[in-house]
Amino acid sequence: MKKAVVLLSGGLDSAVTCFIAKREYECHALVFDYGQKAKREIESAKNLAEEARVFFQIIKLPLSWRGNALTDDTIEIPDGDASADGKIPVTYVPARNIVFLSFGVSFAEAIGAEAVFIGAHQMDFSNYPDCRSSFFESFEEAVRCGTKSGTRGGGIKIMTPIINMTKKEIVEEGIRLGVPFQYTWSCYRDGGIPCGSCESCLLRAKGFVEAGGEDPLIAKNRNEE
Amino acid sequence: MKKAVVLLSGGLDSAVTCFIAKREYECHALVFDYGQKAKREIESAKNLAEEARVFFQIIKLPLSWRGNALTDDTIEIPDGDASADGKIPVTYVPARNIVFLSFGVSFAEAIGAEAVFIGAHQMDFSNYPDCRSSFFESFEEAVRCGTKSGTRGGGIKIMTPIINMTKKEIVEEGIRLGVPFQYTWSCYRDGGIPCGSCESCLLRAKGFVEAGGEDPLIAKNRNEE
């Protein structure tokens, strides 16, 4: 079976992406512990990888720069629609996907994988520049030029299977594929239950409402109360 | 003064690049501890940064994949011209410069730097695909598409000032700029003195011979004996 690296964040999008990837590839999930406040993501990613029965490893990357709300303790995570009017919100971590993908590509080349999957999408998203098709296309070209496998033809593909799906469609696809959403964590904040008010929680809720289903994570938390 | 990030490996090429960069920029050097056998590189980079009076930090990256001679203990570093006939040698670490540059770009964006300097060159080199102009150009384009600063115009430049210099020219430029070559370390192997037989040592020796000077590191070692 062909091999692929899957960047697993613990969130809903990368979970669906992983379940898409594993239909065709032997998947090796990488989870980044990069200094994010939401440590719960890492635990969620581990549980998801176990449920999906894919290889899994945690990579520690010192990306905890000041100046963004996800890694800087002095900046609060904003509530609500932080990316209104096309703004790039304070939750943008500089070049985060460039670093994650680079690492994924290096690992892919080392293990002989031919693709790196990432769960980015540019429909219901936060205007992060590193979540747009134009970025992934140009990055794939850089990888083709800058790797041994790329210069020999073929090379490593950057796979973004949900890039043009809405949150509703991502949830629907996840339901179809049996993604255990109760193990995913989308909230930018850490804690026992999602805050429900950060942009990531709002986008997730929108997805479930529009797909006409209840979020299994919310249902699970209610049942445990 | 404008800010730049400089990727400092401890070797001769990045040292010259750092001294070129600091004529125009406030430099922030990043040194990667990525699992390389030649730990001496890291100490050399630290000494160089001190001599150059630039900011400096060591970044630990877990890139120690199997399958290449620089990080895999089961693979010996070859002697001699390992890249003869256009071959990519076993010292190629998968996508290493992609990972290093990505990290540099993330840090650059976090501190408001407008350039990342890297001491790659494609003249007397080891056929590493991630040392060629075509790679750096396409990577810069990916960075333009995938960063906040890039989408707002300007963005972060990838600077390769020695890309088309021969080793001879790099040595000459270093001498002109007062680079303390005795603090640099090019050998792929670790130890007290350079092995003198790996490809990196051979390329360095060629540079000094053609430039008509003695390598200050060799002279220093002789005097200390």
Contact between chains at A61 and B63 (C-beta distance less than 8 A): no
Contact between chains at B138 and A135 (C-beta distance less than 8 A): no
B76, burial (CB in 10 Å: exposed 0-12, middle 13-18, buried 19+): exposed
* Confidence category of residue A84, pLDDT binned at 50, 70, 90: confident
Interface mutation vs chain B, best among A88, A139, A140, most B CBs within 10 Å? A139
Q: Is the pTM of this model over 0.90?
A: yes
CA dist., res. B91 & res. B112, Å (int): 34
Q: What is the pLDDT of residue A64?
A: 86
CA dist., res. B213 & res. B171, Å (int): 9
DSSP state of B198: B
Q: What is the pLDDT of residue A192?
A: 87
* Series of mean pLDDT values for 10-residue runs along chain B (225 residues): 96 97 98 93 96 96 91 92 87 95 97 97 89 96 94 92 96 97 95 92 95 92 83
Query: What CATH class is the domain A3-224?
Result: alpha beta
> For residue B126, which residues of chain A lie inside 8 Å, CB to CB?
none
- List the one residue out of B132, B189, B10, B105 whose CA is nearest residue A147: B132
> For residue A66, which residues of chain B lie inside 8 Å, CB to CB?
110
Alpha helices in A114-165 (DSSP H): 133-146, 148-151
Across the interface, of B99, B135, B145, the residue whose CB is closest to A103 is B99
Query: Could you tell me which residues of chain A have a Cβ less than 8 Å from any Cβ in chain B?
Result: 59-63, 65-68, 88, 92-99, 101-103, 105-111, 129-130, 132, 134-135, 138-139, 141-148, 150-151
For the stretch A109-165, pLDDT in tens is 999 999 999 999 998 888 999 999 999 999 999 999 999 999 888 899 999 999 999
Q: Phi, psi (5° rounding) for residue B107? A: -65, -45
Spatial contact of B166 and B128, defined as CB atoms under 8 Å apart: no
Average pLDDT on A86-96 reads 92
CA dist., res. A211 & res. A167, Å (int): 9
- List the one residue out of B142, B154, B17 whose CA is nearest residue A145: B142
CA dist., res. A168 & res. B190, Å (int): 55
